[in-house]
Structure 1
């Protein structure tokens, strides 16, 4: 099914649900139902993330409340484009948008989200203070590391990926273009507020035939088959892939780790905000967060989600690694995202 067909089906499902429910109410002599009775439309990634949202939050928490969920699946760039294209509309396609902290900040600067309603999201009181923000809830977090096949190489820095002896053996997920650019900048004189030096480093790497895959899942398949030996990825993904039997190890690069937070927000023009807030509250359920961590390796964002000690050691970061965390310059990334993505598509991938 194409993206257009999927969204068309989604819209028809919402209309059909509302029309059918309304007709039944009128026929029975009851007033029209509140908008909260309709499905909540969630813009999210597909694959493992969507599967775990359904298994750990939607089925155990939302289904009990009678809340139907419709997923509008895709990568972040088209989801951001949709939010921007619909900002003048009173009836947006999405009720909830899931984005990385970088993308969420960029979209928040356009005034696209309501501030988190603490009364409607009671689990928000347990959010780890350092991860909180007014326009979104933090769902899960991890950190950017080097993921590699230890029988083939032992990198300590992104700079090792540019070594000609690894020609054709370095691969990236297309969706992590900004993280790859940042990594290249930091080993070539750049900073968290200046990614321009990345272009020279990645131009050099391009000479050695790096692979770019359309999704995390296709990258995982390439690592499993040993088509490629290393990548830049979240430690959580490395944990999940290793758990699935792919021969991998992870290391925080000597230039430092950059944390990644995956957020969720309610669209200001969402058609079903009531169930949107219920969805955000479900995402902060401590039981679901622990299950998410055990399956996918992302660290919980709420203080009442307690991980087993061994799991916490495997997916978390040591004090020494935390001391070298890089702090994102959200404003810089937001202002330069479009031009860097264009460079990635035309110059690095092209």
Structure 2
């Protein structure tokens, strides 16, 4: 199973041990005290100078996170975190890393794609060089099932505040996205539903995601559902998707998609909410629809701690800070990724633009991810042959 999982990860898609503690300094020899003069009252012993103020590290997170970090000293420990670059890297450097560095930790980010991280995790098991990994919803689940990552733990207080879907499959859900419709506002009377993509007026103007991808997985699932099936009914799905041809664009860049949609060369695309809402900020004629019939597809970035991490306590501290309301709010405010922590409070305007609140979370459609992962190789061949070829 382990070998198969490695193979899959490669198709689909560091860490030193703690420093040796410094030897303790030898105890100083204390000379015997002179006897006190009998005529003088002995002076009261001076109170030992408190080191609490010197050792106390300021904390501007929520009370639960500050209590969890209180008194922790990670001196001599280096935490290696595998994660994506770009805006997510910047957010982690700005918010998650500083409170750990203030408590003596060294944090190194190993940047790259989730597939490469997953393959490395399997190859190095049981002696991982990464302590924490950021993965997508189905690869995080796979790592836990195969025993190369440990199950999410309620040892950190933030775990209790996560939405149930963010604890599913024993991973830590980090951020929520909805796979919905990015669209040109001049081509539709209002936010479109899934079925509107098949309107004859839009034939040949629907941009496609790459495959394999979350967007491609979702497109197959939605097409099948519109015909009364599920993601398992791939014949229904491919026949439905083929009706959208010709394919004007397979987008590999969000900027390219935004520019062509703003120009009217494409009128809609299946896309993730965070990216599409960012595009709406940049283009006057671009917006995003959270469909309702059926609803949007669940997409979620996840985090796992590697099985056998030599810095497990530090990794748990990372998880607590990363899942705290402050960090989760930053995900929403900076990149429109919805919070998985139910304690986060967003402004009404921002709440409308991200996946936020129990009702919005429950509206997300969770796919059969083990099936999706297993079928990707076969479906990729079929996608290239039946959808992309003329």
98, 101, 109: which one pairs with 2:145? 109
Residue 7 of structure 1 is matched in structure 2 by none
Residue 287 of structure 2 is matched in structure 1 by 249
Deviation beyond 6 Å, 4+ runs, structure 1: 26-29, 317-323
203, 206, 212: which one pairs with 2:250? 212
2:123 corresponds to 1:85: yes
> Are the equivalent residues in 1 in contact too, given 2:184–2:286 (CA < 8 A)?
yes
2:72 corresponds to 1:37: no
Report the Cα distance in structure 1 between the residues aligned to 2:315 and 2:384, rounded to whole angstroms.
34
Offset of 1:51 from its aligned partner? Answer: 2.4
2:135 corresponds to 1:96: no
Residue 65 of structure 1 is matched in structure 2 by 103
Query: Of the two, which has the highest radius of gyration?
Result: 2
131, 148, 173: which one pairs with 1:138? 173
Residue 160 of structure 2 is matched in structure 1 by 125
> Are the equivalent residues in 2 in contact too, given 1:258–1:328 (CA < 8 A)?
yes
2:315 corresponds to 1:279: no
Residue 150 of structure 1 is matched in structure 2 by 185
| 3-state SS in 2 of match to 1:180 | helix
2:266 corresponds to 1:231: no
Q: Give CA deviations for 1:151-209 in whole Å, capped at 9, x if unaligned.
A: 2446422562585744255142554332233233323443144344323334444x412
- Calculate the TM-score normalised by the size of structure 2: 0.69
2:296 corresponds to 1:261: no
Aligned residues: 325
Report the Cα distance in structure 2 between the residues aligned to 1:37 and 1:348, rounded to whole angstroms.
54
Closer/same/farther in 2, CA of residues 238 and 313 from structure 1, 3 Å limit? same
Report the Cα distance in structure 2 between the residues aligned to 1:300 and 1:239, rounded to whole angstroms.
15
> Are the equivalent residues in 2 in contact too, given 1:224–1:247 (CA < 8 A)?
yes
Report the Cα distance in structure 1 between the residues aligned to 2:152 and 2:228, rounded to whole angstroms.
38
> Are the equivalent residues in 2 in contact too, given 1:44–1:97 (CA < 8 A)?
yes
Closer/same/farther in 2, CA of residues 92 and 348 from structure 1, 3 Å limit? farther
| 3-state SS in 1 of match to 2:197 | helix
Report the Cα distance in structure 1 between the residues aligned to 2:193 and 2:276, rounded to whole angstroms.
16
> Are the equivalent residues in 1 in contact too, given 2:338–2:354 (CA < 8 A)?
yes
Closer/same/farther in 2, CA of residues 69 and 185 from structure 1, 3 Å limit? farther
Q: Give CA deviations for 1:297-347 in whole Å, capped at 9, x if unaligned.
A: 222222221112222133247998777543322332243234334544666
Offset of 1:287 from its aligned partner? Answer: 1.2
> Are the equivalent residues in 2 in contact too, given 1:164–1:208 (CA < 8 A)?
no
Closer/same/farther in 2, CA of residues 222 and 47 from structure 1, 3 Å limit? farther
Structure 2 residues not aligned, in runs of 5+:
1-13, 27-72
Report the Cα distance in structure 2 between the residues aligned to 1:160 and 1:133, rounded to whole angstroms.
32
Offset of 1:284 from its aligned partner? Answer: 0.9
Offset of 1:266 from its aligned partner? Answer: 0.5
Offset of 1:220 from its aligned partner? Answer: 4.8
339, 344, 350: which one pairs with 2:378? 339
Residue 8 of structure 1 is matched in structure 2 by none
| 3-state SS in 1 of match to 2:371 | helix
> Are the equivalent residues in 2 in contact too, given 1:173–1:219 (CA < 8 A)?
no
| 3-state SS in 1 of match to 2:302 | strand
How much is the aligned-residue C-alpha RMSD, in angstroms?
3.6
Report the Cα distance in structure 1 between the residues aligned to 2:356 and 2:123, rounded to whole angstroms.
39
Structure 1 residues not aligned, in runs of 5+:
1-10
